[in-house]
Amino acid sequence: MQTLQITPFTLSVASIFFMKLLSSLLPIIIIASLIAIAIGFGIYYEKKRREALAKVAADLGLEFFPQGIPGLLAAIQGFTLFSSGRGHSVTNTIRGLTDDVELTIFDLTYTVGSGKNSSTHRQTIVRFASSRLSLPEFVVSPEGFFHRIGKLFGVKDINFDEDPQFSSSFLLQGPIESAIRQMFGPAVREWFSHRQGITAAGRGTQMFFFRASQRMNADKIPGLLEEGFGFFKLVAAPAGDEMPPSS
């Protein structure tokens, strides 16, 4: 039986071939390693965030649902403000119920664009659903943030000549201007003028409140909730009363 002779020349050729193969695969190995590290870090971060949110919910005496609750995604997709993009999902939901208010705090994730131009957005939102609300359809946001927000309703920004500070700081829009002007009286405009970066939207018995393009850290949730309740109290009927339907 003939044995294979391994000569220095054979070793040299094999070594050169191996080095060339390794050099060609090195970028792929580096990229794959970085992707694996990023995925691992993301999984770890999301796990720690869920744990922190669960603790916040417990401290507030509320329920926590890591994967969201049935019907919530459908409820928000009925609003023009949340209709852009694709692949919408709701996670990390904190919920509380009283006789006349359902409170939910959740993370909304969606993607806009496609291919190399796609980007994923994550947003923490506070939602109030209550018979004490009877709101015209509206969106109020920091001036300049929704620079294309006019396309949502196809109408102009609603300004108040008597309140130039509010009008220069916020975009206020909706299809029924008279009802929105009545809703945004002096007290509501004054409340918003002391808060930067706030966006709110609503219609009928639902209202949404958030800081645009921000997924809030768990320790900031109580503050966001407190702000949301402040606005809710301004536009809702007193406890025990139900508001008539908005015109």
Whole-number Cα distances in Å, 204 to 174, 207, 226: 13, 8, 22
State both tokens at 216.
């809030």
Whole-number Cα distances in Å, 197 to 84, 113, 144, 145: 20, 25, 11, 9
What is the Cα–Cα distance from 159 to 52, expressed in whole angstroms?
Answer: 41
Q: Is 154 exposed, middle or buried (0-12, 13-18, 19+ CB in 10 A)?
A: exposed
For the chain, residues with pLDDT lower than 50 are 148, 151, 243-245, 247
* Interval 166-197: pLDDT, tens: 988 898 989 999 999 999 999 999 999 888 88
State if pTM tops 0.85.
no
Reference 175, options 150, 145, 147; nearest CA is: 150
Q: Where are the alpha helices (DSSP H) in 61-176?
A: 72-77, 150-153, 164-169
* Interval 73-112: pLDDT, tens: 888 877 877 777 788 888 999 999 887 899 999 998 888 8
State both tokens at 200.
């709110």
